[in-house]
Amino acid sequence: MNFKTTNAELSTITRDLKEIEEKTGNIYESCVAIAKRSNQIAVELKEELVNKIQEFASTTDNLEEVFENREQIEISRFYERLPKTNAIALKEFLEDKLFVKHPSESKE
């Protein structure tokens, strides 16, 4: 999924817990599913960010000369402006883009 074009909210908003609970029948299951997806998104974004920043990393380290790498700063700012991972995961959950699977159901 392209997280850069998601339409998740950038700030905190009030949510209807009944709407979240409807998806699984249990508010706690819903929260666990959202949290696990949020962690997955965070790992993916971090890997992507680190890879992009490393492209512009300087190969020489000099303690006397500290300079700002504009490209790295702009990339970091872009990722800071993205919606938080829990907002993206919640948006996916509410739009039925997440599949919640129960381990007990898979054994049947």
19 to 1, 23, 28, 73: CA distances (angstroms): 24, 7, 13, 39
pTM assigned to the model: 0.77
> pLDDT 10s digit of each residue in the chain, 108 long?
566 667 777 778 888 899 999 988 889 999 999 999 999 999 999 998 888 888 777 666 655 445 567 777 888 888 888 888 999 999 999 998 888 877 776 555
Query: In 61-75, which positions are buried (b, 16+ CB within 10 angstroms) versus exposed (e)?
Result: eeeeeeeeeeebeeb
Q: Taking a C-beta distance cutoff of 8 angstroms, is the pair 52, 4 a contact?
A: no
pLDDT at 3: 67
